[in-house]
Amino acid sequence: MQLEGKTWKFGDNIDTDQIIPARYLNTSDPAELAKHCMEDADAGFAAAVSPGDIIVGGSNFGCGSSREHAPISIKSAGVSCVIAASFARIFYRNAFNIGLPILECAEAVEGISQGDEVAVDAGTGTIKNLTRGKEYQAKPIPPFMQEVIAAGGLIEHVKRKLG
Amino acid sequence: MGMTITEKILARHAGRDRVEPGELISARVDAVLGNDITAPLAIKEFEKIGVDRVFDPERVYLVPDHFVPNKDIKSAEQSKLMREFARKQELVHYFEVGRMGIEHCLLPEQGLVVPGDVVIGADSHTCTYGALGAFATGVGSTDLAAAMALGETWFKVPETIKFVYEGELPKWVSGKDLILYTIGDIGVEGARYMAMEFTGPVIEKLSMDGRFTICNMAIEAGAKNGIVPPDETTSEYVRERAKRPYRFEHSDPDAQYARTITYDVSWIEPQVSFPHSPDNTRPVTRATHVEVDQVVIGSCTNGRIEDLRVAARILKRQKVHPNVRLIVFPGTQAIYLQAMNEGLLQTFIEAGGAVSTPTCGPCLGGHMGILAKGERAVATTNRNFIGRMGHPESEVYLSSPAVAAASAITGRITHPEEVI
């Protein structure tokens, strides 16, 4: 899967309360959640983000609450993928389960500045910073996660298992 | 080579003799749970799978606790969806308002989680049950949906960090202070993807309530699970409660640990985590300049009877500071009733505090105690992230019930010794 977009850079330990505050969790409607994506980290993000844009986080991205509403809000805001130095474990599972591509690569995070144009091959994990002409390789995706992706998400994977 | 308690529990549920850290395994789950925020999403995903029934109607626990009694129409719709699913699936353990509690206080109290279990819950604080010597971890809604259908899930076997607490716990220092101190030491990603095994003479002497508090906040260090070796204290707690047979597992003497960290707790003060991270921890005597508008005592971290007793002991014949709102949230209906019978609720009310029905409400900025811009709270809850209890420019300081109660009297963060 080839993805390309402008990057939005965030710091370390972006928790899921910042990604989607609990005051909006009285619904699970993706379009509603998208309106408030990243609101407590950057109140202007949801209005300014364009389809295909890429979120770049530091370490421990998605820590805190298990709310799947967090990756859903990111995906439905049009963000094509999240690159971070590391991910919190529940967010990591949730992102794969709902089909939001995520890549772990501390060097890329270091080498990308806010607004850089970046191209990602979600299959191979290659990250190209088009603005700066640098290329990075993300950590490989565990085989089980690759199966989930190939099936089109965890629910499809379970269907096949039961089918 | 030996195994840790976490590895042994996972191996048995995977039908294996042994497992190694880093391995991906498929494991049977003894129970799964969801709440009024996470279950509605899980139910929608479950219905896409195309199976008619959950794997076992006695093993799927649904607890409306976050936005109940419902705060608005949208949240009422979420609860309704969950209630209707519970009826349709004939779930044995659905807990309605008036009979519910905060899930992580309620399920152990009801004997629905027992030692040796593997439990997953669509709530990050599911790790609380490690206090019973069970493997319990938080997942998202889609993982819950898959497990509701299959009765199993996949795990990466975590490495374990062993924590050894030695010395004598000073007066006013509780399980909450130990876990805040530990997170302050290792950081919010200090145990990312790992198991935290809490051991040593101090843990052995700690009550079940204190152990629940410690395991509850393992997630705040990024851990997959927290776990306490089961012992006589565990036995006493589960003997009368357990709804299923249970099994005590113990780490082998030659189990492999990623690290062992030993603390001498004899000199530790009550701890306070400053905004906006649970690892921003300082001793209470370095926090006494912080004035507060609200004090929250309760939650899945500190809403148990022992927590309410210590708070009431400090608030007895005292008055809440004129500039402070004190809100007390017992964790379950049973705790609420016990607190009433012991006169604790009377103490809170006479002191000028509000007592609420059990709910997660204020902890996550849902309802029942939202902060306005610029307001500050000291809370016995588990997270002090930006906007956690309300306005993004409000602040939460995390503490034990003792420090929270003392702070309610003086209007600023206070060592309990100062008001006793």
Q: Domain boundary at B227, B262, B297, which?
A: B262
* For residue A69, cis peptide bond before it (omega within 30 degrees of 0): no
Residues B246 and B294 in one domain: no
Dihedral over Cα of B125, B66, B99, B299: its sign: positive
Question: B322 and B218 in one domain?
Answer: no
Report whether B131 contacts B125 (CB < 8 A): no
**B216 and B352, same domain (yes or no):** no
B262, B283, B309 - which closes a domain: B262
Residue B279 shares a structural domain with residue B408: yes
How do A2-9 and A117-121 pair as beta strands?
A: antiparallel
Instruction: Bin B336: left if φ > 0, else alpha if -120 < ψ < 50, else beta.
Output: alpha
| Interchain CB contact of B104 with A (< 8 Å) | no
Cα within 13 Å of Cα(A70), Cβ side: 30
Rg (CA), chain B: 20
Last residue within a domain, chosen from B262, B288, B322: B262
Q: Give the list of residues 6+ apart from residue A69 with CB closer than 8 angstroms, or none.
A: A16, A20, A24, A25, A28, A33, B37, B41
B169 and B93 both lie in a single domain? yes
pLDDT at A162: 87
- What b/e readout covers A122-145, taking b as 16+ CB neighbours within 10 angstroms? beebbbbbeeeebebebeebeeeb
B186 and B47 both lie in a single domain: yes
**CATH number for the domain that contains residue B278:** 3.30.499.10
B365: phi then psi, degrees, rounded to nearest 5: 70, 30
Same structural domain, B318 and B189: no
What is the full per-residue pLDDT of chain B (420 aa) written as tens digits? 899 999 999 999 999 999 999 999 999 999 999 999 999 999 999 999 999 999 999 999 999 999 999 999 999 999 999 999 999 999 999 999 999 999 999 999 999 999 999 999 999 999 999 999 999 999 999 999 999 999 999 999 999 999 999 999 999 999 999 999 999 999 999 999 999 999 999 999 999 999 999 999 999 999 999 999 999 999 999 999 999 999 999 999 999 999 999 999 999 999 999 999 999 999 999 999 999 999 999 999 999 999 999 999 999 999 999 999 999 999 999 999 999 999 999 999 999 999 999 999 999 999 999 999 999 999 999 999 999 999 999 999 999 999 999 999 999 999 999 999
- Asked if residues B314 and B345 have their Cβ atoms less than 8 Å apart, the reply is no
One domain for residues B245 and B293? no
A-chain residues within 8 Å CB-CB of B119?
none
B314 CB near a chain A CB, below 8 Å?
Answer: no
| B354, B357, B362, B366: CA torsion to nearest 10 | -130
- CA pair distance B164, B141, nearest whole angstrom: 34
Q: Are A158 and B49 inside 8 Å of each other by CB?
A: yes
Q: How far apart are CA B202 and CA B118, in angstroms?
A: 26
Q: Which of B37, B123, B139 sits opposite A93 (nearest CB)?
A: B139
* Domain shared by B316 and B399, yes or no: yes
The pLDDT tens digits of the residues spanning B351-381 come to 999 999 999 999 999 999 999 999 999 999 9
Structural domain count of chain B: 2
Q: Which domain holds residue B30?
A: 5-262
Which pLDDT does position A45 carry in this prediction?
A: 98
Q: Are residues B167 and B314 in the same domain?
A: no
Residues B31 and B90 in one domain: yes
B193 → closest Cβ in A18, A68, A89: A89
Please check whether residue B387 is in contact with residue A18, taking contact to mean a CB–CB distance below 8 angstroms: yes
Whole-model pTM over 0.95? yes
Cα separation, B57 vs B319, whole angstroms:
48
Q: Which two tokens stand for residue B319?
A: 């008055």
Give the nearest chain A residue to B68 (CA atoms).
A26
Q: Which of A22, A27, A41 sits opposite B365 (nearest CB)?
A: A22
DSSP string over A22-36: GGGTT---HHHHHTT
Q: Is B150 an interface residue toward A (CB < 8 Å)? A: yes
Nearest CA in chain A to B194: A89
Residues of B in contact with A158 (CB under 8 A): 49, 146, 149-150
pLDDT digit string, tens, across residues A35-51: 999 999 999 999 999 99
pLDDT of residue B194: 98
| Cross-chain Cβ contact A17/B387 below 8 Å | yes
Which residues of chain A make contact with B122, given a CB cutoff of 8 A? 66, 68
- Counted residue by residue, chain B has a size of 420
**A144 reaches B (C-beta below 8 A):** yes
Q: Are B262 and B21 in contact (CB under 8 A)?
A: no
**A112/A128 Cα distance (integer angstroms):** 10
Ordered alpha helix ranges (H), B50-111: 73-88, 103-109
Which residues of chain A does B40 touch, with a Cβ-Cβ cutoff of 8 Å? 28
B295 with B343, same domain: the answer is yes
Q: Which of B248, B246, B215, B212 is nearest to B229 (CA)?
A: B248
pLDDT tens, per residue, chain A with 163 residues: 899 999 999 999 999 999 999 999 999 999 999 999 999 999 999 999 999 999 999 999 999 999 999 999 999 999 999 999 999 999 999 999 999 999 999 999 999 999 999 999 988 999 999 999 999 999 988 888 888 888 888 999 999 988 7
Q: CB atoms < 10 A from the CB of A113, how many?
A: 12
Note the pLDDT of residue A163: 79
Q: CA-CA distance, A59 to A104, in Å (whole number)?
A: 9
